[in-house]
Structure 1
Amino acid sequence: MRVDDILKKGTLKGASDIHIKVGSKPFFRINGEMIRDDEDEPLSEADFNEFLSNEKVDDFLVEKFKKERQVDIGYGLSGVGRFRVNMLYQRGTPAAIFRFIPFDIPDLDSLNLPKVIETIALKPRGLVLVTGVTGSGKSTTLASMVDIINKKRKKNIITIEDPIEYLHKDINSSIIQRQVGYDVLTFADGLRGALREDPDVILVGEMRDRETISTALEAVETGHLVMSTLHTKDATETINRIIAAFPLNEQRQVRLQLSATIEAVISQRLLKRKDGNGMVPAVEIMIASELVRDAILDAEKIHNIKRSIEINREIYGTQSFDQSLMELYKNGLVSFEEAKEYSSNPNDFALKVRGIG
Structure 2
Amino acid sequence: MAAYENDLSELVYELNSSTAVAKRERSSSLDALLAAAVEQRATDIILIAGSAVTFRINGSLTAGIGRPMSSDDLRKALQPLLTSDQSKELESNRSLDFCFAHGSIGRFRANLHYQRGTLAASIRLLPSQVPTIESLHLPPVLARLMERRQGLVLLTGPTGSGKTSTMAAFVDLINSKRRDHIITIEDPVEYQHPNRYSIVEQIEVGHDTPSFAHAVRAVLRQNPDVILVGEMRDQETMAAALTAAETGHLVLSSLHTNDAAQTMSRLVDSFPSNRQSQIRQQLSLALLAVVAQQLVSAMDHAGVYPAVEVMVATMAVRNLIRTGQDHLLRSEISTGKREGMMTMDQSLADLVHARRISRDTAMAHSYHAEELRSYLARA
The TM-score by the shorter chain falls in which range? Answer: over 0.9
Partner of 1:247: 272
Quote the offset at 1:126 in angstroms. Answer: 0.4
1:26 lines up with 2:49 in the alignment = no
- Equivalent in the alignment of 2:359: 336
SS at match of 1:108: coil
Aligned match of 1:156? 181
Give % identity. Answer: 39
Query: How far off is 1:98 after superposition?
Result: 0.7
* Residue 335 (structure 2) pairs with residue 308 (structure 1): no
Tell me, yes or no, if structure 1 residue 186 matches structure 2 residue 199.
no
Q: 1:16 maps to what in 2? A: 43
The 5 A counterparts of 1:96-245 are 96-245=121-270
Q: Structure 1 CA distance, aligned partners of 2:302 and 2:273?
A: 48
Query: Secondary structure at the residue paired with 1:325?
Result: helix
Distance of 1:5 and 1:62 partners within structure 2: 23
Unaligned runs of 5+ in 2: 1-27
| 8 Å contact kept, 1:25–1:43 | no
CA contact (8 A) 2:47 2:74 kept: no
Amino acid at match of 1:16: T
Determine if contact 1:160/1:190 at 8 Å carries over to the other structure: yes
For residues 146-185 of structure 1, what are the alpha-carbon distances to aligned partners after superposition, in whole Å with 9 as ceiling and x for unaligned? 0011111111111111111111111111111111111111
Q: What is the rounded CA distance, in whole Å, between the counterparts of 2:375 and 2:281 in structure 1?
A: 37
1:92 Cα deviation from its structure 2 partner:
3.0
Secondary structure at 1:37's aligned position in 2?
coil
**Cα shift at 1:20:** 1.2
The one-character-per-residue Cα deviations of 1:102-151 (angstroms, maximum 9, x if unpaired) are 11011111111011111112310100100000000000000000001111
For residue 41 of structure 1, report the CA deviation from its aligned partner.
5.5
Looking at structure 2, the residues matched to 291 and 30 of structure 1 have their Cα atoms a distance apart, in angstroms, of 42
> For residues 204-236 of structure 1, what are the alpha-carbon distances to aligned partners after superposition, in whole Å with 9 as ceiling and x for unaligned?
110011111011111112111111100000111
Return the offset for 1:324: 0.8
Deviation at 1:91, TM superposition (A): 3.0
Structure 2 CA distance for aligned equivalents of residues 43 and 158 of structure 1 = 42
2:287 corresponds to which residue? Answer: 262
| Cα distance in 2 between the residues matched to 1:35 and 1:171 | 39
Q: Name 1:63's counterpart in structure 2.
A: 88
Paired with 1:341 and 1:53, the residues of 2 have a C-alpha distance of 41
Matched to 1:297, the amino acid is R
Any idea what SS the aligned residue of 1:133 has? coil
Residues 127, 225 of structure 1: 8 Å contact kept: yes
- Shift in Å at residue 23 of structure 1? 4.2
2:376 aligned partner: 353
Amino acid at match of 1:93: T
* Separation in 2, partners of 1:97, 1:240: 31
In 1, distance between residues paired with 2:181 and 2:90?
33
- Verify: 1:42 aligned to 2:66, yes or no: no
Does structure 2 conserve the Cα–Cα contact (< 8 Å) formed by 1:20 and 1:43?
no
Q: Give me the whole-angstrom Cα distance separating, in 2, the residues matched to 1:284 and 1:118.
A: 15
Partner of 1:90: 115
Give the Cα–Cα distance (whole angstroms) in 2 for the partners of residues 150 and 227 of structure 1.
Answer: 14
- When normalised by structure 2's length, the TM-score is 0.88
Matched residue of 1:182: which SS? coil
Distance 1:226 1:50, change over 3 A: same
Give yes or no for contact 1:3–1:47 (8 Å, CA) kept in 2. Answer: no
Q: Distance in 2 between matches of 1:335 and 1:29?
A: 20
Hey, what's the Cα distance between the residues in 2 that align with 1:346 and 1:249?
Answer: 37
The one-letter code sitting in structure 2 at the alignment partner of 1:52 is Q
Give the C-alpha shift of residue 313 in structure 1.
Answer: 1.3
Aligned equivalents of 1:284, 1:354: Cα separation in 2 = 20
Taking the aligned partners of 1:234 and 1:76, their CA distance within structure 2 comes to 34
Between structure 1 and structure 2, the one with the greater Rg is: 2
Residue type matched to 2:209 in 1?
V
The equivalent residue for 2:12 is none
1:47 to 1:270, Cα distance in 2 relative to 1, 3 A = closer
Offset at 1:53? 2.3
RMSD: 1.8
Provide the C-alpha distance between the structure 2 equivalents of 1:13 and 1:41, rounded to a whole number of angstroms: 20
Q: Is 2:74–2:120's contact at 8 Å kept on the other side of the alignment?
A: no
Match of 1:327 in 2: 350
Post-superposition shift, 1:21? 2.9
Instruction: State the shift of 1:303 in Å.
Output: 3.2
Q: What are the ranges of 5 or more consecutive residues in structure 1 without an aligned counterpart?
A: none
Specify whether residues 17 and 50 from structure 1 end up closer, same or farther in structure 2 by C-alpha distance, changes over 3 A only: closer
Q: Do the aligned partners of 1:291 and 1:305 also contact (CA within 8 Å) in 2?
A: no
Residue aligned with 2:135, SS: helix
CA contact (8 A) 2:46 2:122 kept: yes
